[in-house]
């Protein structure tokens, strides 16, 4: 008699790389006989794949662990693991503070999860926050061949050597490492065979990728040669790593989508310097001009931090002016959050109410720009990769080339199809369109 498979519940916080890592962890645990469940109550093991980027994100781990304590009382065999960037930053402390946790493993060593699971089943509590010599991707189980949806993430680069003064990433994810291009191409081929048509290449500093001749542009070229892979995107980029070849690729490579997330964080030169960003607002604006010269319709997005230590009203006004000058299709803005171990954490903080007010002002401008960009799409034709049925009968949802969420009506099963559409209307966060091809 074979026993029922053990069940694994993974909760993913934070960025897209965590989404990718969670998939790989689930595949690794598949080799240990685990199948995934979407209910923590049914699980034999729960993994919390955490984010450390801002204090609020990190705190979520502790409130979730509080809730899991009750589950463990009902099911003493339940094993609980903490993975991701909080695991890396607070490894031993988590084990010390939280008796409910059985294992802690950082983002660079989760290929060791199967061995750790066995140690835990034998009654141990284990922590692994190494930055190992070996490459986890070489050791992890081969990717599942199971049929999957039409979009996927693919990590090509990890870590960061930039040391922006506010950021924990260089500490939690380590220094910059690029995966070899041949492995990435093999993985991409496998994804395409499983039904993927749109791949987003991931890296904390993805355009610093140096695992292929010609850098990220070279890798994009190799991937574009894969039949059946129709759309390529990449995120997140640093302005100082936008080289000529990559800018040119936005003009020359039809599979490279007209969408670019290029965080600038602030529009004030004084603050950019204090952040250790190593470029000015003017240099960023000139860069945007060159990217738009290569691909005029490109949709640009950014991240902003308001209330960085030392930010005055005039500095904030400079950020507003930069946003006005660029015209973003969307952007994320955050209140500065002091992170332990980062240089900026030592500096005097801006008043909380001032931060709140600035965040609201900036978000109102960004929302207006997002609406303007969407409104400008009405009447235009574009293509949409449809992913799944919408909420209403006959409705399908997918993404445009510019990564707008799009809905269209059709009696056909549009899943996985790329279809020509005309945009007919906009809503706050999506477009409505009709099929025209
Ligand atoms: N406080 C607020 N926002 C931060 N980010 C990174 N670190 C911090 C911090 N300490 C933001 C940046 C980055 C995005 C991923 O998160 O804008 O681009
Ligand atoms: Fe963090 Fe990005 Fe700066 Fe690297 S470039 S330190 S990941 S904000």
CATH code of residue 393: 2.40.50
User: Which residue range forms the structural domain that includes residue 430?
Assistant: 381-435
Q: Among 362, 399, 410, 396, which residue's Cα sits nearest to residue 377?
A: 399
In terms of domains, do 105 and 25 share one?
yes
**How far is Cα 264 from Cα 82, in angstroms, rounded to an integer?**
31
The predicted model gives 326-347 an average pLDDT of 97
Within a domain: 369? yes
Number of domains in the chain: 4
pLDDT per residue over 200-221, tens digit each? Answer: 999 999 999 999 999 999 999 9
Q: Which residues pair with 34 in a beta bridge?
A: 6
**How far is Cα 390 from Cα 394, in angstroms, rounded to an integer?**
8
The predicted model gives 223-228 an average pLDDT of 98
Q: Which of 18, 52, 53, 346 to mutate to test the pocket of ligand 1 (most atoms within 8 A of CB)?
A: 53
Q: Write out 225-243 in H/E/C secondary structure.
A: CCCCCCEEEEECCCHHHCC
The CATH number linked to 177 is 3.30.750.210
Within a domain: 262? no
pLDDT per residue over 239-264, tens digit each? Answer: 999 999 999 999 999 999 999 999 99
Ligand that comes closest to the CA of residue 347: 1
Within a domain: 428? yes
* pLDDT reading at 17 higher than 70: yes
Q: Is 51 annotated as a binding residue?
A: yes
Q: Which of 171, 205, 279 to mutate to test the pocket of ligand 2 (most atoms within 8 A of CB)?
A: 205
Name the domain boundary from 199, 234, 257: 257
Name the domain boundary from 77, 105, 128: 128
In terms of domains, do 238 and 253 share one?
yes
The CATH number linked to 311 is 3.30.750.200
- Per-residue pLDDT band for 324 (boundaries 50, 70, 90) equals very high
- Per-residue pLDDT band for 2 (boundaries 50, 70, 90) equals low
In terms of domains, do 23 and 95 share one?
yes
The answer to whether the CB of 300 falls within 8 A of the CB of 335 is no
Indicate which residue's Cα is closest to atom 3 of ligand 2: 164
Cα dist from 71 to 43, 75, 280, whole Å: 10, 6, 51
In terms of domains, do 40 and 55 share one?
yes
Residue with token string 């048509």: 197
Q: Is 320 annotated as a binding residue?
A: no
Within a domain: 274? no
Predicted pLDDT at 23: 96
In terms of domains, do 12 and 124 share one?
yes
pLDDT per residue over 96-145, tens digit each? Answer: 999 999 999 999 999 999 999 999 999 999 999 999 888 999 888 788 88
151 lines ligand 1 (CB under 6 A): no
> Which atom number of ligand 1 is nearest to the Cα of residue 15?
15
49 lines ligand 1 (CB under 6 A): no
Within a domain: 269? no
In terms of domains, do 370 and 385 share one?
no
Predicted pLDDT at 59: 87
Name the domain boundary from 75, 97, 128: 128
Predicted pLDDT at 1: 45
Predicted pLDDT at 356: 98
In terms of domains, do 159 and 250 share one?
yes
How many angstroms does the Cα of residue 232 sit away from the middle of ligand 2?
Answer: 22
In terms of domains, do 389 and 326 share one?
no
The CATH number linked to 18 is 3.40.50.12160
Cα angle, residue 361 at apex, residues 355 and 364 outer, rounded to 5°: 135
**Ligand 2-lining residues (CB < 6 angstroms):** 160, 162-164, 167, 169-170, 204-205, 238
**Residues whose CB is less than 8 angstroms from the CB of residue 175 and which lie 6 or more positions away in sequence, other chains included:** 159, 160, 161
The answer to whether the CB of 398 falls within 8 A of the CB of 406 is yes
In terms of domains, do 121 and 195 share one?
no
Within a domain: 199? yes
In terms of domains, do 20 and 120 share one?
yes
In terms of domains, do 191 and 233 share one?
yes
Within a domain: 265? no
In terms of domains, do 68 and 118 share one?
yes
């Amino acid at each position: 008699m074979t026993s029922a498979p053990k069940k694994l519940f993974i909760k993913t916080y934070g960025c897209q790389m965590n989404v990718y890592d969670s998939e790989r962890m689930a595949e690794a645990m598949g080799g240990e006989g685990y199948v995934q469940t979407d209910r923590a109550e049914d699980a034999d093991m729960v993994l919390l794949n955490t984010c450390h980027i801002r204090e609020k994100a990190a705190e979520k781990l502790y409130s979730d662990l509080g809730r899991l304590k009750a589950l463990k009382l009902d099911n003493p065999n339940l094993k609980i693991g903490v993975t991701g960037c909080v695991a890396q930053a607070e490894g031993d402390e988590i084990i010390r503070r939280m008796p409910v946790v059985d294992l802690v493993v950082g983002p660079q060593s989760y290929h060791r999860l199967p061995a750790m699971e066995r140690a835990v089943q034998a009654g141990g509590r284990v922590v692994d926050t190494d930055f190992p010599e070996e490459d986890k991707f070489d050791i992890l189980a081969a990717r599942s061949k199971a049929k999957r949806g039409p979009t996927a993430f693919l990590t090509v680069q990890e870590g960061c050597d930039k040391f922006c003064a506010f950021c924990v990433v260089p500490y939690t994810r380590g220094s910059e490492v690029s995966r070899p291009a041949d492995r990435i191409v093999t993985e991409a081929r496998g994804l395409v065979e499983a039904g993927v048509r749109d791949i987003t290449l991931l890296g904390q500093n993805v355009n610093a990728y140096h695992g292929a001749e010609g850098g990220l542009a070279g890798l994009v070229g190799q991937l574009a040669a894969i039949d059946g892979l129709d759309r390529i995107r990449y995120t997140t980029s640093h302005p100082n790593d936008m080289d000529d070849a990559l800018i040119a690729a936005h003009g020359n490579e039809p599979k490279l989508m007209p969408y670019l997330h290029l965080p600038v964080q602030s529009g004030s030169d004084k603050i950019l310097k204090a952040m250790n960003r190593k470029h000015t607002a003017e240099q960023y604006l000139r860069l945007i001009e060159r990217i738009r010269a290569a691909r005029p319709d490109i949709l640009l997005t950014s991240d902003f931090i308001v209330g960085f230590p030392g930010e005055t009203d005039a500095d904030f006004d400079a950020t507003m002016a930069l946003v006005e000058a660029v015209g973003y299709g969307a952007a994320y803005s955050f209140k500065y959050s002091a992170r332990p171990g980062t240089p900026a954490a030592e500096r005097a903080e801006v008043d909380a109410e001032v931060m709140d007010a600035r965040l609201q002002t900036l978000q109102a401008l960004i929302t207006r720009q997002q609406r303007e960009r969407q409104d400008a799409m009405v009447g235009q034709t574009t293509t949409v990769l449809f992913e799944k049925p919408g909420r209403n009968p006959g409705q399908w949802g997918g993404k445009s080339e510019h990564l707008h969420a799009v809905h269209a009506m059709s009696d056909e099963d549009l899943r996985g199809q790329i279809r020509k559409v005309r945009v007919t209307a906009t809503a706050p966060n999506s477009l409505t369109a009709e099929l025209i091809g």
